[in-house]
Amino acid sequence: MNRVAVVTGGTRGIGRAVCEQLKTDGFNVVANYAGNDKAAQECAEEAGISCYKFDVGDHEAVMTGCQQIHDEIGPIEVVVNNAGITRDGTLTKMSYEDWHEVMRINLGGCFNMAKACFPGMREREWGRIVNIGSINGQAGQYGQVNYAAAKSGIHGFTKALAQEGARSNVTVNAIAPGYIDTDMVAAVPQGVLDKIVAKIPVGRLGQADEIARGVSFLCSEDAGFVTGSTISINGGQHMY
């Protein structure tokens, strides 16, 4: 039986690309999503991927959803924490709700999914967790104190959890994408986007497939000695 991989926010953008790549790699892939039923239906019909609807920021919903996946499909051995939202604005204009929702979903979702799946991975002595961070969690970004804080938190979460899983052959890594050609980036005003691209040494936006190939490696047997790492895939925009 193929290993079960769950990708949160898996029906669109980077998540959809990751789902398709992992399916090609031989995983039994499940896409989680929160609200877009149309995108989920398209993902299921076009890519043949099972879709489960629950809010990753809701602890009980995650515990219930992951148990359902376990019962209906099999033990979850790979988790890709990709789900995320933005609620941009300068601190003076940002509401507490804008702050809380981004932290609840982007960072809290990583905790909730790990809480549901990590113990089983350790018991079976094999697992892969890949957390999708961001260049803006590494370098910061004007108008994104919530998003940058959550993504930076993901990078720290990754390093800490990696130490808990290492002896059980459970690796925990992160990927920090730069600006990728997705719906989220498409919402950026063209003038702003042009200035962003001008600062990317390779001179273009990244593609979702390029992130998916990075996830593919980290989920493979070949990456068994890689844990606690953050791989930057950003066209050279931020190097450190």
Maximum CA pair distance of the chain?
52
Q: Give the residue numbers annotated as catalytic, written as ranges.
A: 147
| Spatial strand order in the sheet of 28-33 | 50-53, 28-33, 4-7, 76-81, 127-132, 170-177, 230-233
Q: CA-to-CA distance for 185 and 63, rounded, in angstroms?
A: 31
Q: CA-to-CA distance for 117 and 30, rounded, in angstroms?
A: 14
| Half-sphere exposure (Cβ direction) of 115: Cα atoms closer than 13 Å | 16
Q: CA-to-CA distance for 137 and 146, rounded, in angstroms?
A: 10
The letter for the amino acid at 45 is E
